[in-house]
Structure 1
Amino acid sequence: MTVPVRAASTVVLLRDGEVDLEVLMVRRNRALAFAGGFWVFPGGAVDDADRAQAGDDPDEAARYAAAREAEEEAGVSPDPADMVLISHWTTPVGERKRFSTWIFAGEVAPESKVVIDGSEIHDFQWVGVARALDLHRAGELPMMPPTYITLCAVARYDTAAAALAGEKETPCPRVLPLMLPTEDEGGFVTLYPGDAACESGDIQAPGPRHRAFLSGGCWCYQYEGVSEPALYPQD
């Protein structure tokens, strides 16, 4: 059965905190079938009104959708014109639900009040970007690979303005991962261009590594010996 790929959009809302750059993370209702209980960025499906507003330009429709969803889910209103596209992700083949998702970044005022919808979203927090990654590695902030990798990309900036300016000049990766099971029960690894397992289907095959995998309940991004670009700049 062919699974339809739905257009979706999300926005990484940033503000300058008292100590460091902060990001708004919202927690999805645990009862939701897709990513229930996970921490995400505000977002959702692109609708007909977004497409009409954008004149059927898919990138612009996604931009309007991300801003609209931020308002609906969190009561925060980023300016669509100032948002910067960070990346685009397509759900791997084989998943029961598949999305073509644009990820934007946008700045909001430090005093912006967050009001969650209480339906899809049950909790929120403003958290330092580096702190969010530390919490995830400690098993306290469950998230999906695109969220984790996006936070890794944003973590290299000190301010919201620097993040938007830097991402505006950074090529936008268009990512279609290959998902394979691991030996761990229920476990899986997501592979990106250049990984040795992309062709062989054997995650133990020797060669380049470009993948995200679970280790101790948290995601790790591995980029070794790969000619393809990394999903975020490496040290």
Structure 2
Amino acid sequence: MNSPADPPIRDAATMILLRRAASGASVLMGMRGAKAVFMPSKYVFPGGAVDAEDAGAPLARKLAEPHLRRLGAEPREGAGSNPDAIAAAALRELAEETGLLIGQTGGPRSPWPGYAETGLGPDASTLSYVFRAITPPGRPRRFDAHFFVADAAAISGDPEDFGRACDELSHLHWVPLTEARALNLPFITEVVLAEVAELVGSVAHDAPLPLPDTVPFFDNRGPSPRFSQIV
């Protein structure tokens, strides 16, 4: 059961970038600092909490359906999530933590680092919503985390150039999907990697990533953990 001392649950967005080739797929990961309050020294995907400013972030293209609808499913009591803000946060966190951009020319101007310099407009239309998990009670921070997958082909620029990245994640590199689960990972990251591997393995490397039939949801809002599928 949730304790009165439990921190509030915040929306968060995580980006899973995939590079696919005939030889196999790789995923972009980095390691959190040893002194981080949340998940220290763990390998994670780029991502973070949704900021209030994300709700008004100018996007060149918005998230497509059914992802937009699925993001709004099963809202937390008293805290209706903003699907556009969550998708924007995923792109913003990717830019901040890795320096990589997914954008379009000719879109609205964005103040985010990287986008402001290049004149690109953040593009959420290539994102696919694949997983949701709420942090269990008793943790120093709690998030309603929304995981997105995007193909590295959507990156504007060199996918190996992390020169604009902040210092929140170290050891940023493309990890072969078959080796990623051997890293020091949070439990939920292991689960998400298994889901992503199944999704990637269902199509040829040069075919578009398929639309997930459902979005798995680890729900820890109530007194007992609950697992469901968002359709």
Considering the TM-score relative to the shorter chain, is it more than 0.5?
yes
* TM-score, normalisation: structure 1: 0.66
Do residues 91 (structure 1) and 135 (structure 2) align? yes
Give the 3-state SS of the residue equivalent to 2:209 in structure 1.
helix
- Following TM superposition, by how much is the alpha carbon of 1:163 offset from its aligned partner in structure 2, in angstroms? 7.2
Task: Mark the CA change 1:99 to 1:112 in structure 2 (over 3 Å): closer, same or farther.
Answer: same
Gaps of 5+ in 1: 179-189, 194-227
Task: Mark the CA change 1:62 to 1:160 in structure 2 (over 3 Å): closer, same or farther.
Answer: farther
Which aligned pairs between 1:34-73 and structure 2 lie closer than 5 A? 34-53=38-57, 58-73=82-97
Question: In the alignment, what sits opposite 1:127?
Answer: 175
Equivalenced residues, count: 179
Alpha-carbon distance in 2 for matches of 1:100, 1:68: 17
* TM-score, normalisation: structure 2: 0.67
Give the 3-state SS of the residue equivalent to 2:96 in structure 1.
helix
Output the amino acid matched with 1:93.
Answer: P
Task: Mark the CA change 1:94 to 1:31 in structure 2 (over 3 Å): closer, same or farther.
Answer: closer
- Aligned identity (percent) is 28
More off after superposition, 143-152 vs 112-121 = 112-121
**Backbone CA RMSD of aligned residues:** 3.1
Alpha-carbon distance in 2 for matches of 1:54, 1:75: 18
- Following TM superposition, by how much is the alpha carbon of 1:96 offset from its aligned partner in structure 2, in angstroms? 2.3
Q: Which of the residues 24, 30, 34 maps onto 2:28? A: 24
Do residues 164 (structure 1) and 206 (structure 2) align? no
Alpha-carbon distance in 2 for matches of 1:53, 1:85: 19
Question: In the alignment, what sits opposite 1:175?
Answer: 218
Which aligned pairs between 1:185-196 and structure 2 lie closer than 5 A? 192-193=226-227
Name the structure, 1 or 2, with higher relative contact order (CA <8 Å, separation 6+).
Answer: 2
Alpha-carbon distance in 1 for matches of 2:168, 2:226: 30
Gaps of 5+ in 2: 60-79, 103-122
Do residues 152 (structure 1) and 156 (structure 2) align? no
